[in-house]
Each structure stands twice: as C-alpha cells, then as structure tokens.
Amino acid sequence: MIRVILPQHLRTLANVTEREVLVDVARPVTVKSILDAIENNFPVLRGTIRDHGTLKHRPMLRFFACEEDLTHDSPDKALPEKIATGAEPFFIVGAIAGG
C-alpha cells in the first residue's frame, strides 16, 4: 500500500481523521497513479489537487517524497522504490504563502 500524507484541509474535506491515508496502486507507481487512486477513493477531492480538465496539478500544491521535490517531474515518472513499498510516504503539501 502507498502511504499518502494529505494537507489538513483536504483531510477535512475527505472526512479523514488520520494524517496518512493508504491507497492501493499497481506498479509502476507514479504521481499520476497515486493521484488517480486518491481521487477514486475520495471523489470529493477531484479537482482539488489537479485541475478537472487538464489534470495539471494546482499551482500552489507540491509533491515531495524521500526528501525530494517531485512537483515538476513528469507525472508518469516511476517513483522511488521506498514509495512503492510503503517504506516512505508520499507528501501532498500546500505551498507556503503569506506570513
């Protein structure tokens, strides 16, 4: 299972109480396949992480994993093995803005 850490507002929206959610993703595990799984498990989140139509990620969200910034990588690029095995979580993070 893939471990995904959602921002607080999306956890509230999805009615998730735990900081971390688990999703089942077939290999190869990619940003796109993780987001597909998140949106399938939590349809209310469709449109909140990436645009409904273009599927581009929202400009004020970032994706981190294994201490790397994956935000601007291809969404089809295979993620590190530690993400695929669940050893490390995949972070969806709201960009810092404001004081």
Give the interface with other proteins as residue ranges (CB under 8 A).
Answer: 7-10, 13, 39-41, 43-44, 46-49, 51-53, 58, 60-61, 94-95, 97
Least Å distance, CB 46 to other proteins, is: 4
Read off φ and ψ for residue 32, nearest 5 degrees.
-60, -45
Least Å distance, CB 26 to other proteins, is: 16
Q: What is the DSSP string of 18-33?
A: SSEEEE--PSSPBHHH
Place of tokens 């994993």: 65
Q: Which residue number, 30 or 48, has a Cβ lying nearer to other proteins?
A: 48
Burial of 96 (0-12, 13-18, 19+ CB in 10 A): exposed
Q: Which residue number, 58 or 82, has a Cβ lying nearer to other proteins?
A: 58
Least Å distance, CB 93 to other proteins, is: 10
Q: What is the DSSP string of 41-55?
A: H-GGGTTTSB-TTT-
Q: Which residue number, 80 or 94, has a Cβ lying nearer to other proteins?
A: 94
Least Å distance, CB 73 to other proteins, is: 20
